[in-house]
Amino acid sequence: MNVPSQPERADIDEIRELLRDIRDAQREQLAEYRRVTERSLALQQRAVARQEQFGHLWKRLTLVGGVLVAVLLVLLVYLLARWSRYLFGV
């Protein structure tokens, strides 16, 4: 039977320690990856929410601008019809 000698057992213990260190480092890396991924997702969700808010604001501004242009056109037509004989001598 081949019994490991004392130096070989030390090597085995060192290998086990190295493997534990590698495992711990991988766990830390995975935890950091999860934190970064969660942060990225949160930022993306905030960006989408802001885009939605901007879209709603843009729709409102467009509607208000359109109504304002329509009112001004109606006012212009009214004024031209009312004052055309004075302005154009008709």
Q: Which two tokens stand for residue 73?
A: 């056109």
Rounded Cα distance between 76 and 81, Å, is 8
pLDDT, tens digit, 9 for 90 and up, residues 42-68: 999 999 999 999 999 999 999 999 999
> Which contiguous run of DSSP H or E holds residue 16?
helix 6-88
3-state secondary structure 45-88: HHHHHHHHHHHHHHHHHHHHHHHHHHHHHHHHHHHHHHHHHHHH
| 84 in Cβ contact with 90 (< 8 Å) | yes
pLDDT, tens digit, for every residue of 26-47? 999 999 999 999 999 999 999 9
Evaluate if pTM is beyond 0.85.
Answer: no
